[in-house]
Structure formats: structure tokens, C-alpha cells
Amino acid sequence: MTTLVADPAEAAPAPRAAGRGRLVLTRLLAARGAVAGAVLVLLLFVLAFGGPYLTPWDYATPDFTALHQPPSAQHWFGTNGIGQDVFAQVVRGLQKSLVIGLLVALFSTVLASLVGACAGYFGGWADRALMFVVDLLLVFPSFLIITIVSPRLKSTGWIAFVLLLAVFNWMITARVVRSMTISLREREFVRAARFMGVRPLRIISRHILPNVASFLIIDATIAVGGAVMSETALSYFGFGVKPPDVSLGTLLAAGTSEAPVFPWLFYFPAGLLVLFVLAVNLIGDGLRDALDPTAGGGRPRRNSRRKKP
Amino acid sequence: MLRYLAKRLSYYAVLLIAAVFLAYAISATALQPRTYFEAKVPRPAAESVERQLTDLNLNDHTPVAVRFGHWAGGLLHGDLGRTIHDTPVTDDFGRRVWVSLRLLLIGSLLGMVLGVAAGAWSAVRQYRISDRLLTLLSFVLLSTPVFLVALFLKNGAIAAKDAAGHEVVPFTGYETPGLTGGLGAHLSDWALHLLLPTMSLALHGLATYSRYQRGIMLDVLGSDYLRTAEAKGLTRGRALLKHGLRTAVIPMSTMFAYSFLGIFTGAVFTETIFGWHGMGEWLIQSINEQDVNSVVAVNLFTAVVVLVSGFLADTLHAALDPRVRS
């Protein structure tokens, strides 16, 4: 034990095996990047959901006395060409982008874990059929399909857009879950459950999925960032969230052409977008180190390098 | 090795056929060329709309399977059908494919090579300043969507133009129209126009690949066989290059194949932003015009390129890893 802990003083209060949750938390708090990311995400959430109460302006109502005004005490992030308050718009757009990102990550992770676990656990033709679908969707340019189908979904609004993004976002995760399941399937506790007559779906939910949970948590975190990026990109080109609804993508689309002259229209949404995805990625990276000590960048290698004269 | 490659090739052929059929079915049902003709001014007669749709193989009263059969029959003779403006799709295809491939090939190769090199270098210098800087840079780049990188670069070029009073780096199109001069002038003009769009694609590849390569390389650096190689008298540099990098590149070859779609998606944005008349811009334009045959042609292009790059990755994998061949 003492050889494993870098600082003996640290180990003193908890000499015997601390719970895994506590271990993960300690490691996570030690990673400064992850802590900074978590604080940033929290702040952005507060901004997105508390922001509308901070400003008297509404995201849609124009103020005709202030057109194209730079940031000021009245309009914190300035106003656009028809006098709408950019702060109110950005906050509203951030809110929509965050909700879309979270929902897409949730749906796609659930789908990926179910498909991957079933393919890996059942094997045989079920595996082959599911993996063919995975390969097909990977070959198939999902972006093209979203752009083709999205004009038809105008009436159903952004929830359909969320589902569409999720449907094309789960394949690689499913592949990893599948290969993890294949090796878990032969482990003693899974075999014991099988021989005791536990039904397959129950084995998957009680024994397989909890054992791939740490991978799924990391993957879902990173998927939030990816989903927000896809959402903004598609909305930028008019294939995602559509006006009068506001997301960071539609704001960027509106601000691009005016960026050289009225930079606040472009750089505020752009900055918040990068900041949010960056924060999410930092959390994901910290989680990876905390949940999976064997992943790249671990401590032992640093020591082995040091041993070299 | 040949048997393995043949097996992969036949699997890809089946995937290609399935993917193209699916693309055709979705495009043919989701897009509505009928509305395009009916919206014409003056409004054409019903029979005329019907006849035009049938002539173009776009009539939604014909079952999708029949239309697909007709289209696939043409494809066997190298005919991709006709656009909604009644011109051959192959004309547009031939013109645009080189524009896009130039961007895609240079952008993705540059991203790949630089990413692998930067990742490996950064792993060897783990926790030094250069490693930390590269990590920070790649995190920021990974958190910026490609279209935003492209927009930042374009805004930068516009700002530079305003500051200098003349265009410093070109940011629209892929060549200067009506340029005179010899081959050298044309080549440098092309290269200058390529600079910003390629950068926006390559930067993203650089960030992604360097992260993965760094992680894999770190695992390799701690391995016993590398120490053995050094113990047997190889210099550290040679051991890293011959035994370290070779092993570390293997898992990356699969990534290269799957990343192509992401690169193409990025290229759709960069092409539109920088005014390149390539496949990506064509896609957006033809979706807005309900031009089914052109949309399917772009789909066919991406499916073929993805599978070709998948096959190349398999070949690379088999060449580097002797276990795969058996």
C-alpha cells in the first residue's frame, strides 16, 4: 500500500482501502483541468438559466433606440441591427445549445450501450446484423442525411432534431461497448449468473452495463461537447434550429457577415461556444484519468522514464 | 495477406451497395422535386410537370425501387442521371470532384502527418513545456467546430486586408479569375488559395490525432520491448522510430479510415465559407433545389471515398501488423 501512495501523509487518515467513489473523487479533484472545467460548466449553466432574469431585455423584442450599439451598461453585449439585446440572445442560445447537447449525449449513450451490450453478449447472427448496421451508418454520411431530412421536420421543431443527431452519434461507442462486453461475457461472475439461470437482459443490466459504466460516463461527457458542435454547425447552415428559435449556431450565422464591423455580434456567441466545449472536454479528460488509471498519461510511466540515466 | 484484403474488399462492396441504396431511398423520399417544378412561374401544366419528372427519373408516383433500378442501370454505364436543370450530373461531378479532392487530400494528409508527428514528439517530451503547450492548443482546437475555425481564419484574413490595404491571403475561391502568367504563377496562386481552407481542415486533424497518438505512444514508451531494443544497442532515436512509432501507428490506421466522414463534413463547411465550388457546396445547393440525382451523386462520392480510405487503412494495418495477415 505504502508503495502505491506518493505522499505517506496523505494516506495517513485513510489507511485502509477507501471506497472507489472516494478514490475517483480524490483523483478528480487532483486534476486541476477537470476542476476548472467543472467550475466553468457550472458557471455557464447558471448564466444560461439565470441570465434571462438578470437583464430587463427580452431576446426577441427590439429596442429601436439602440441599433448596432457596442457593449454598454444598458446592453451588456451590445445590440444587433434591429436593436435586439445580444446578451439576452446569447443567454437564450446557450440555454438551447446546452439542452440539445445534453439530450443528444443521453440518448446516444443509452442507444450505444444497449446495442453494443446486446451485440457483444448474444454474439452470432445478432452480433453480425447489429455490427452491419453500425458499419453502414459509419459509411453513410450522417451529416448528409440530417441535412436532407431536416427541412421536412420544420413543423416538429428541435426535439426531432435532437433525435436525428442522436441516431447518428452512437456507432463508435457501441463498437467499444461490444468489445468490452465480449471479454466480460467470459468472466466468472457473468458465467455464474448465466448458469444460475438469470435471464440475459437482466445479466446485461445488472452485470455487464455497470462494468462498462466508467467508459460510458467518459464517453457521454465528451459526446455533450460533440453534440453542441454538431448542433451549432448544422444550425449555422440553416439545417438545425431555425429562427425564430435561437441557438448559438443561429446567432453565429446572423453575426458572421457583420463580424468585421460589429464584432460583438459574432465573438460573444463564438467565445461562449468554445468555452463550453472546452470545459466539457477538460472534465472528460479528467474523468478518464480518474476512472481509468491505466489510460495514457498515468504516473508509472513517468517513473520508468526517470529511471533512465 | 491477399486473402485477408480480398475478404475486406468484398465486405466493403456489400456495404457500398447497401449505403448507396439507403442514400437513394432517403433522398428520393425526403426531397420533393415536384414542388420545384410546380413553383415555377408561370405555373406549368400538370401533364408537363408529370412528363418532366418522369424524364428526369424523379417522378414520385413511380415506386422508389423502380427509380433506383433505373438509376443503378445508368450507373453501370457511368451515367449518374440528370440534374433538376436537365444537365448531366456527371458534368458537375467531374468539375467539382477535383476541387474537393484537392482540399480533402491535402487537408487530411497534412493533419494526419502533423498530428502523428506532434503526438509522438509530445509523448517523448511528456510534462515538458512543449508537451503542455501542445496539449493546451489541441484542447482549444478540439473544442472549436471546424466551421468556426474557418470563420476565424477568414475574419483574420479580412482584418489583415483592411490593415494592409490590399489582399494579404486570398479568402474566396480556389484561383484568381483571369490570372495571366506561366505555370509557376498559377501554382503559387493555387497554393495561396489553398492555404486557409486547408489549414482549417488540417488543424482539426492535427488536434485529434496528436491527442490519440500521444496516449498510444506513452503506452509504447513504457513497454519492455523498447527497453530491450535499446539494451541490444539501438540508439534511443532509432529504437523509438523502428519499434516505438511503428507499433503506435497501428491503432491509428483504423482511426484514419473512420475520420474521413468528419473531414468531409468539415469540408462542406469550409467550401461554403471560402466560396469553393466543390462537392460540399454542391450538396447544400442541390438539397435546397430538391435535386435528388445530384444529392445521390455526392452520397456516392463520400461512400466510395470512405470505403477506399477504409481499405487503405486495412492494407496499412496488414502491412504493419503481421498478426492481421494470417
pLDDT at A11 over 70: no
Shortest Cα distance, chain A CAs vs residue B178, angstroms? 27
Label residue A102 by pLDDT band (50, 70, 90).
very high
Shortest Cα distance, chain B CAs vs residue A149, angstroms? 6
Q: d(Cα A78, Cα B304) in Å, to the nearest integer?
A: 48
Tell me the percentage of chain A whose pLDDT exceeds 90.
15
| Average of per-residue pLDDT across A218-223 | 85
pLDDT at A111 over 90: yes
**Distance separating the N- and C-terminal Cα atoms of chain B:** 7
pLDDT at A293 over 50: yes
Shortest Cα distance, chain A CAs vs residue B45, angstroms? 26
Please tell me the least confidently modeled range out of A4-13, A213-222, B167-176, B182-191.
A4-13
The reply to whether residue B299 touches residue A138, judged by beta carbons under 8 angstroms, is no
The reply to whether residue B148 touches residue A270, judged by beta carbons under 8 angstroms, is yes
pLDDT at A201 over 50: yes
Give CA separation, B180 vs B173, B186, B195, in Å.
Answer: 17, 8, 21
Interface check for A147 against chain B (CB to CB < 8 A): the answer is: yes
Q: d(Cα A150, Cα A70) in Å, to the nearest integer?
A: 35
The reply to whether residue B303 touches residue A141, judged by beta carbons under 8 angstroms, is yes
Residue pairs between chains A and B whose CB atoms are closer than 8 Å: 129
pLDDT at B281 over 90: no
Q: d(Cα A217, Cα B44) in Å, to the nearest integer?
A: 57
Closest Cα in chain B to A172: B258
Residues of A with CB below 8 A from B219's CB? 296, 301
The reply to whether residue B151 touches residue A252, judged by beta carbons under 8 angstroms, is yes
Please tell me the least confidently modeled range out of A36-45, A56-65, A92-101, B149-158.
A56-65
pLDDT value of residue A4: 44
Q: d(Cα A177, Cα B31) in Å, to the nearest integer?
A: 36
Label residue A15 by pLDDT band (50, 70, 90).
very low
pLDDT value of residue A195: 92
The reply to whether residue B15 touches residue A136, judged by beta carbons under 8 angstroms, is yes
Closest Cα in chain A to B158: A260
Q: Which of B146, B162, B218 sits opposite A301 (nearest CB)?
A: B218
Instruction: List pLDDT tens digits, range A114-141.
Output: 999 999 899 889 999 998 888 888 877 7
The reply to whether residue B151 touches residue A256, judged by beta carbons under 8 angstroms, is yes
The reply to whether residue A259 touches residue B127, judged by beta carbons under 8 angstroms, is no
pLDDT value of residue B325: 67
Label residue B165 by pLDDT band (50, 70, 90).
confident
Chosen for mutation from A144, A250, A308 (greatest number of chain B CBs closer than 10 Å) is A144
The reply to whether residue B299 touches residue A256, judged by beta carbons under 8 angstroms, is no
pLDDT value of residue A42: 92
Q: Which of B142, B258, B299 sits opposite A141 (nearest CB)?
A: B299
Interface check for A139 against chain B (CB to CB < 8 A): the answer is: yes
pLDDT at B309 over 60: yes
Query: Is the bond preceding A200 in cis, omega lying within 30 degrees of 0?
Result: no
Instruction: List pLDDT tens digits, range B123-148.
Output: 888 888 888 898 889 889 988 988 89
| Average of per-residue pLDDT across A146-157 | 75
Closest Cα in chain B to A37: B139
Label residue A18 by pLDDT band (50, 70, 90).
low
Please tell me the least confidently modeled range out of A94-98, A165-169, B272-276, B310-314.
B310-314
Residues of A with CB below 8 A from B152's CB? 270
pTM of the model: 0.81
pLDDT value of residue A16: 52
pLDDT value of residue A107: 93
CB B86 within 8 A of CB B56: yes
pLDDT at B168 over 90: no
Q: Which of B16, B23, B221 sits opposite A301 (nearest CB)?
A: B221
Tell me the percentage of chain A whose pLDDT exceeds 70.
87
Which among B282, B299, B278, B267 is positioned nearest to B83, based on CA atoms?
Answer: B282
pLDDT value of residue A300: 39
pLDDT value of residue B33: 84
- Sorted by where each begins, the domain ranges of chain A are 101-239+277-293
Contacts 24+ apart (CB under 8 A), A64-73: A68/A262, A70/A262, A70/A264, A71/A264
Instruction: List pLDDT tens digits, range B86-127.
Output: 888 888 888 888 888 888 889 888 998 999 899 988 888 888
pLDDT value of residue B326: 59
DSSP 8-state class, residue A6:
S
